[in-house]
């Protein structure tokens, strides 16, 4: 993908959040809390757990379907950040070769098991976070955090990160375009030029920060980024949060996969 | 009434890199006056505007807004009275949605929720921007960004309006709308622009800034039809005054 295309792809996560489904309409706080609960529950499993994690896919699949989010889009985003998880777990199979089980004649080592567990946890948690943003919008999440009592400084940093990410990318896009228009056959695209471009970008950013801060002061900024309250935790929101909590609790406490397996075995006997 | 008064007395300002941007600027804008400020690139127009609400403080000389002298302490009070529109709307629109951005000022003024909503609605109505209310600024066109930035300033209902190139990114129709909007704003205003026709339409009086000084100050029509004065300041006759 060229830089331009990547830029336009970035905006897609926002546009998904304009949807009008049941999931979109939930109070952002309910969704933030549910997602946090989900992530904590998933991460709380011991390092060799694989089977018990599988039922947790129910939550992201449900949100994707109800929220009308294209699953391929979410999967692609997960794939982009997957190297982090891959590198964390990739040496486990080499370092930990104890055999824990024999599957279809092949010995299964503990390392593979923990690697698989890391990958599952990664896909589940990243997927849940992406879905949160896709159904709530980033500002919505920030708004929720602020109202849940997160410090003003923290939330305003997040807001500015989001707002100026796009401006910074546009700025970069303009610089890169200007460079491409005047560099031919490999000339003018070397590392030296790159370093200078980054330097220019940094200087422009500092200038802009100065101007933005002035604009904020001009409109009475006093340290907090104020936003009007526009959500109310209604009965639906509480119901969503409670149901999620109960399901997570049940999935965490009881070996669901085993249960489903036994049930299935019972049917097919 | 004295509270819409702007007075610069022998104002000097020098940027940290050594550029002498203002070298003894003096003028006085009285209540309800509309003043255009024109001049070459780098003449000091923008620097002058930044002094109006204390973004910059004069190195020497005094700036008086209403009955308050501009100091570090009085800045906050002065910012409630003076609405400044900056040159680049991306600098001005720092909140994640149009609504939040236009509401930013009114909320900081301590208004009630209902009042804030009303102000936002009215301000966006002024610039025909009601449909944009839930959009994030990065999905707006340059002209829409300008319109929203203007709304964000108007929502604070300032006593004095200062604008830096307000029409630079607007298409002709939006520019016309802005001119009507400015004509309808009866408090004091100072507009810095290279769009001399806009100045001619909106302002009765015109100040020419050159090299950090006030080069000429008088009725807009008189100044903007003085071809040799304009030429000396890298300007030319407004299109409406040019005979083809």
Across the A:B interface, residue pairs with CB atoms under 8 Å apart total 86
In a domain, A262, yes or no: no
Are A129 and A191 in the same domain?
A: no
Minimal Cα distance from A164: which residue of B?
B94
Contacts of A164 in chain B (CB under 8 A): 94
pLDDT band at B151 (very low <50, low <70, confident <90, very high): very high
Mean pLDDT of B131-146: 88
Are A17 and A56 in the same domain?
A: yes
Q: Does B107 touch chain A (CB under 8 A)?
A: yes
In a domain, B233, yes or no: yes
Which of A18-22, A81-85, A138-142, A265-269 is the least confident region?
A265-269
In percent, the amount of chain B with pLDDT more than 90 equals 52
Asked if residues B238 and B200 have their Cβ atoms less than 8 Å apart, the reply is yes
Q: Which of B57, B72, B95, B162 is the best residue to mutate to test the A interface, defined by the most A CB atoms within 10 Å of its own CB?
A: B95
Are A121 and A45 in the same domain?
A: yes
Asked if residue B192 has pLDDT above 90, the reply is yes
Are A52 and A116 in the same domain?
A: yes
Contacts of A203 in chain B (CB under 8 A): none
Per-residue confidence (pLDDT) for residue B76, from 0 to 100: 86
- Sign, CA torsion B147/B152/B153/B155: positive
Contacts of A219 in chain B (CB under 8 A): 79, 104-105, 108, 152-153, 156
In a domain, B1, yes or no: no
The predicted-structure confidence for B78-121, as pLDDT tens digits, reads as follows: 988 899 998 888 888 888 889 989 999 998 888 888 999 999 99
Number of domains in chain A: 2
Asked if residue B135 has pLDDT above 90, the reply is no
* CA-based nearest distance B69→chain A, Å: 17
Are A156 and A142 in the same domain?
A: no
Minimal Cα distance from B162: which residue of A?
A218
Are A202 and A248 in the same domain?
A: no
Got the DSSP string for B21-47?
EEEEEEEEE-TT-EEEEEESTTSSHHH
Number of domains in chain B: 1
The whole-angstrom separation of Cα B106 and Cα B110 is 7
The values of phi and psi at residue A90, to 5°, are -65, -25
Cβ neighbours, 10 Å, residue A209: 13
Asked if residue A40 has pLDDT above 90, the reply is yes
Domain that holds residue A158: 152-218
Q: Is the CB of B76 less than 8 angstroms away from the CB of A220?
A: yes
The whole-angstrom separation of Cα A167 and Cα B147 is 18
Are A86 and A99 in the same domain?
A: yes
The predicted-structure confidence for A206-249, as pLDDT tens digits, reads as follows: 888 888 888 888 888 887 777 777 777 888 889 999 999 998 88
In a domain, A268, yes or no: no
What is the pLDDT of chain A when averaged over all its residues?
84
The whole-angstrom separation of Cα B82 and Cα A21 is 43
Are A56 and A87 in the same domain?
A: yes
Give the number of C-alpha atoms closer than 13 A to the C-alpha of residue B125, restricted to the C-beta side: 6
Q: Does A221 touch chain B (CB under 8 A)?
A: yes
Asked if residues A152 and A146 have their Cβ atoms less than 8 Å apart, the reply is yes
Are A9 and A107 in the same domain?
A: yes
In a domain, A156, yes or no: yes
Name B36's bridge partners. Answer: B191, B206
> What is the model's pTM?
0.77
Per-residue confidence (pLDDT) for residue B204, from 0 to 100: 92
Are A15 and A138 in the same domain?
A: yes
Q: Is the CB of B91 less than 8 angstroms away from the CB of A214?
A: yes
Are A60 and A185 in the same domain?
A: no
What is the pLDDT of chain B when averaged over all its residues?
90
Question: Helix (H, G, I), strand (E, B), or coil: what is residue B10?
Answer: strand
CATH of the domain at B146: 3.40.50.300
Q: Which of A219, A227, A231 is the best residue to mutate to test the B interface, defined by the most B CB atoms within 10 Å of its own CB?
A: A219
Strand order in the sheet with B160-164: B82-85, B160-164, B188-192, B34-39, B205-210, B213-219
Are A84 and A105 in the same domain?
A: yes
In a domain, A185, yes or no: yes
Mean pLDDT of B1-20: 86
Stronger pLDDT, A268 or B227, i.e. the higher one? B227
pLDDT band at A6 (very low <50, low <70, confident <90, very high): low
Residue A194 CB partners (closer than 8 Å, separation 6+): none
Contacts of B138 in chain A (CB under 8 A): 11, 163, 166-167, 170
Domain that holds residue B170: 6-238
The predicted-structure confidence for A80-136, as pLDDT tens digits, reads as follows: 888 888 888 888 888 877 777 777 777 778 888 888 899 999 999 999 999 999 998
In percent, the amount of chain A with pLDDT more than 70 equals 94
């Amino acid at each position: 993908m060229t830089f331009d295309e990547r830029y336009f792809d970035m905006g897609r996560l926002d546009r998904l959040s304009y949807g009008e489904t049941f999931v979109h309409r939930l109070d952002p706080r309910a969704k933030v809390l549910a997602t946090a609960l989900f992530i904590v529950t998933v991460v709380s499993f011991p390092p060799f757990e694989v089977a018990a994690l599988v039922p947790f896919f129910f939550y992201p699949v449900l949100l994707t379907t109800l929220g009308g989010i294209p699953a391929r889009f979410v999967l692609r985003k997960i794939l982009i950040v997957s190297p982090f998880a891959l590198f964390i777990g990739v040496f486990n199979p080499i370092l930990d070769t104890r055999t824990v089980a024999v599957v279809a004649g092949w010995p299964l080592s503990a390392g593979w098991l923990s690697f698989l567990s890391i990958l599952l946890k990664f896909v589940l948690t990243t997927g849940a976070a992406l879905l949160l943003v896709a159904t709530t919008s980033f500002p919505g999440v920030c708004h929720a955090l602020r109202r849940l009592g997160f410090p003003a400084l923290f939330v305003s940093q997040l807001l500015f990160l989001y707002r100026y990410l796009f401006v910074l990318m546009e700025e970069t896009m303009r610089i890169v375009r200007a460079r491409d228009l005047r560099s031919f056959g490999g000339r003018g695209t070397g590392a030296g030029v790159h370093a200078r471009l980054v330097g220019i970008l940094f200087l422009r950013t500092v200038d802009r920060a100065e101007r933005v801060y002035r604009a904020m002061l001009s409109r009475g900024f006093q340290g907090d980024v104020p936003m009007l309250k526009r959500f109310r935790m209604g009965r639906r929101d509480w119901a969503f949060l409670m149901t999620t909590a109960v399901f997570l609790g049940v999935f965490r406490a009881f070996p669901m996969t085993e249960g489903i397996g036994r049930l299935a075995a019972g049917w097919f006997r | 009434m004295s509270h819409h008064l702007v007075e610069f007395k022998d104002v000097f300002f020098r940027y940290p890199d050594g550029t002498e941007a203002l070298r003894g600027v003096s003028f006085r804008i009285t209540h309800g006056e509309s003043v255009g400020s024109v001049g070459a690139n780098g003449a000091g127009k923008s620097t002058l505007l930044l002094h109006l609400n204390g973004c910059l403080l004069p190195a020497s000389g005094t700036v008086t807004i209403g009955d308050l002298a501009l100091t570090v302490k009085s800045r906050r009070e002065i910012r409630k009275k003076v609405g400044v529109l900056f040159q680049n709307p991306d600098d001005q629109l720092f909140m994640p949605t149009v609504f939040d951005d236009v509401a930013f000022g009114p909320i900081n003024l301590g208004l009630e929720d209902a009042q804030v909503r009303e102000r936002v609605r009215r301000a966006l109505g002024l610039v025909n921007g009601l449909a944009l209310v839930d959009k994030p600024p990065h999905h707006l066109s340059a002209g829409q960004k300008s319109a929203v930035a203007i709304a964000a300033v108007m929502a604070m209902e300032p006593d004095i309006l200062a604008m830096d190139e307000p029409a630079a990114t607007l298409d002709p129709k939006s520019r016309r709308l802005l001119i009507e909007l400015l004509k309808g704003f009866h408090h004091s205003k100072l507009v810095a622009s290279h769009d001399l026709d806009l100045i001619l339409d909106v302002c009765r009086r015109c100040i020419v800034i050159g090299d950090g000084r006030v080069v000429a100050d008088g009725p807009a029509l008189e100044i903007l039809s003085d071809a040799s004065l304009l030429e000396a300041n890298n300007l030319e006759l407004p299109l409406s005054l040019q005979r083809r």
